[in-house]
Chain A
């Protein structure tokens, strides 16, 4: 009885609503869809964009209030805008070989980082792969790496200068040596975490070392490798100021060093923002790359 009465009540409304929809279908969807899409957009703005903007404005206000007096040591945001407006508004001006926009300087520095980090990525993954495969090597090298990775980039400067006798290669070496440790350590951890099943498959197929590296090790350890690369790219960007104190020239790191020497504090603040944004983009870029490469590895 119950079941029958329930099916009857369930059945009844369906044709009724279908009929109703048939009659009113043209005018209804249009006004219904637009506000929906707008509402979704509004929600994204409210949830994602509004909070950081509000926080930024509040922080700028506090900064402005704290340093607007004549006796304050640091420039306030309005001072930065007044004195360094050109740097902010035009990142790609060229007035002379040394007088160029911050965008160009960032690109110059990125090229340097590309060499140092690229080298660190290749060497780091290879060394990490070897260490991950051999427990004995790992035991031998791991303590040394753990100590070396805590050495700050600036401390490598004199050593690399003494070793290379030339500022160009030593700057790249400083970036390389700063970025390589997390890449080695993470790759080794990823290789050790390769499931025995995959190793068995490789053994039955008699994959050689190179085939094992490309077919099993890299895809299986990709999430680990890329989290190492992500930390590494952040560190290599951190090392840029130290590295460019050596090389001079037109990099963003040297620009800060140079601005400090000629007490252009507002320029330094603008450069800091450039460095921060670039570092953020680099981090996201490697993260995105890792996401693309390791897609499907997590079951």
Chain B
């Protein structure tokens, strides 16, 4: 039995007089502990695919199964790190994570255990120094760290990251990528990350899922990344496997599936 199984999934929206197909015949299986990056041009429906796995959007046809159980509603077993952090601005860093922990572990952990768990997850993203601050008072990179902590705090079976570092500057992004790699190495959790950054995809992923352009986008190619972990971005810069993988992704995106802005 596969851990996560996406089987012949289509997503279409009824429009005026005709149906717009966004995703067509997506088939993908992901193993436990695997890190998968999904890359594609903007508008190819990669965020839609993530929302389908999260259960935030309804599947039109096909089925998604997590550990053999069909996914048809959102839940904390598929925690999402949202593109724009989506922290609640009226709650402190601590309370944002606490909301998730209270909801998920309210009946199974004692108050003290929950507190320890909140601090532990914030420790993991190095945010314990800012527990009393509100999202408006910390930097964009810090907010995203808290967003990751909140998702991790749910102890999800699968962590879904929706272009989490897209809005950050290059240096902050690099720090957070290292943080994610570190967390993945320590917790061995299954992660799916949407990105449009080729370097990010190659650096982080075990496999890169490359999507064709929409409408009716589908998986064009799945590329395994044969680079041993732990990975170091400085060492990788001259690693032939890294260079080759990077080139393959670039070729896919810019030669075979060049993004035509004018195409609808």
Task: List the interface of chain A (C-beta within 8 A of B).
Answer: 197-198, 200-201, 203-207, 211, 215-216, 219-220, 222, 294-299
Flag if A201 contacts B88 (CB, 8 Å): yes
Closest partner residue, chain B, to A197 (CB atom): B86
On chain B, the residues within 8 Å of A197 by CB distance are: 82, 84, 86
B122 to chain A, nearest CB (A): 17
- Size range of the interface on B? 20 to 34
Check if A204 sits within 8 Å of B74, measured CB to CB.
yes
Question: Is residue B103 contacting chain A, with contact meaning CB distance below 8 A?
Answer: yes
Which residues of chain B from 83 to 126 have any CB-CB distance to chain A below 8 Å in the complex? Answer: 84, 86, 88-90, 99-100, 103-104
A-B contact count (CB 8 A): 58
B136 within 8 A of A: yes
Closest 9 CB pairs of A and B: A197-B86, A203-B74, A219-B90, A299-B136, A205-B103, A299-B89, A204-B74, A296-B90, A297-B90
Asked if B78 is an interface residue, CB under 8 A from chain A, the answer is yes
Which residue from B73, B82, B89, B135 sits with its C-beta under 8 Å from A200?
B82
- The residues of A that contact B88 with a CB separation of less than 8 Å are 198, 201, 215-216, 219-220
User: What are 18 A-B interface contacts by the 8 Å CB criterion?
Assistant: A197-B84, A198-B86, A198-B88, A200-B80, A201-B88, A203-B56, A203-B74, A204-B74, A205-B99, A206-B103, A207-B103, A211-B103, A215-B88, A220-B88, A220-B90, A295-B90, A296-B134, A299-B89
Does B134 contact A201, Cβ atoms closer than 8 Å?
no
**Most B C-beta atoms less than 10 A away, residue of A197, A204, A211, A294:** A204
- Smallest CB-CB separation from B160: which chain A residue? A204
The interface centre, meaning the residue of B76, B80, B88, B136 with most chain A CB atoms within 10 A of its CB, is B88
Cα(A197)–Cα(B56), bound, Å: 11
Our pick among B54, B84, B134, B136 for the contact of A204 (Cβ within 8 Å) is B54
Contact B76 A299 (CB under 8 A): no
CA distance A216 to B90 in the complex (A): 9
B75 at the interface (CB under 8 A from A): yes
Q: Would you call B90 and A205 a contact (CB within 8 A)?
A: no
Residues in B with CB closer than 8 Å to A222 are 90
User: How far in angstroms is the closest Cβ of chain A from B138?
Assistant: 11
The complex places the Cα of A198 from the Cα of B56 at a distance, in Å, of 12
Distance of A131 Cα from B250 Cα, bound (Å): 49
11 further contact pairs, Cβ within 8 A, besides A205-B104, A296-B134: A198-B88, A204-B56, A204-B75, A205-B154, A206-B75, A211-B103, A215-B88, A296-B89, A296-B90, A299-B89, A299-B136
Collect the chain A residues with CB atoms within 8 Å of residue B76's CB.
Answer: 204-206
Tell me the dominant secondary structure on chain A's binding face. Answer: helix
Closest A residue to B96 by CB, please name it: A201
Closest CB in chain A relative to B232 CB, distance in Å: 33
B115 to nearest A CB, angstroms?
18
Interface centre among B78, B80, B86, B100, by most A CB within 10 Å? B86
Chain A CB within 8 A of B79 CB: yes
Min C-beta distance of A299 to chain B, whole Å: 5
- B46-67 vs A, Cβ < 8 Å mask (1 yes, 0 no): 0000000011100000000000
Residues of B within 8 A of A205 (CB): 76, 99-100, 103-104, 154
A191 to chain B, nearest CB (A): 15
Residues of B with C-beta under 8 A to A297: 89-90
- In the complex, which residue of chain B has the Cβ closest to the Cβ of A222? B90
Closest B residue to A206 using CB positions: B75
| Chain A: minimal CB distance from B107 (Å) | 13
Smallest beta-carbon distance B167→chain A, Å: 13
Let me know if A299 and B135 touch, CB within 8 A.
yes
How near does chain B come to A23, taking the closest CB pair, in angstroms?
A: 43
Picked from B55, B73, B78, B136, the residue with its CB within 8 Å of the CB of A296 is B136
Question: What CA separation (Å) do A298 and B82 show in the bound complex?
Answer: 19
Tell me how far the C-beta of A291 lies from the nearest C-beta in chain B, rounded to whole angstroms.
13
Which residues of chain A have C-beta atoms less than 8 A from B136's C-beta? 296, 299
Tell me, in angstroms, the Cα distance from A201 to B55 when the chains sit together.
Answer: 12
In the complex, what distance in Å separates the CA atom of A222 from the CA atom of B84? 22
Q: Which residue of A lies closest to B92 (CB)?
A: A296
Shortest beta-carbon distance from B202 to chain A in Å: 28
CA distance A298 to B90 in the complex (A): 8
Residues of B contacting A298 in the complex (Cβ-Cβ under 8 angstroms):
89
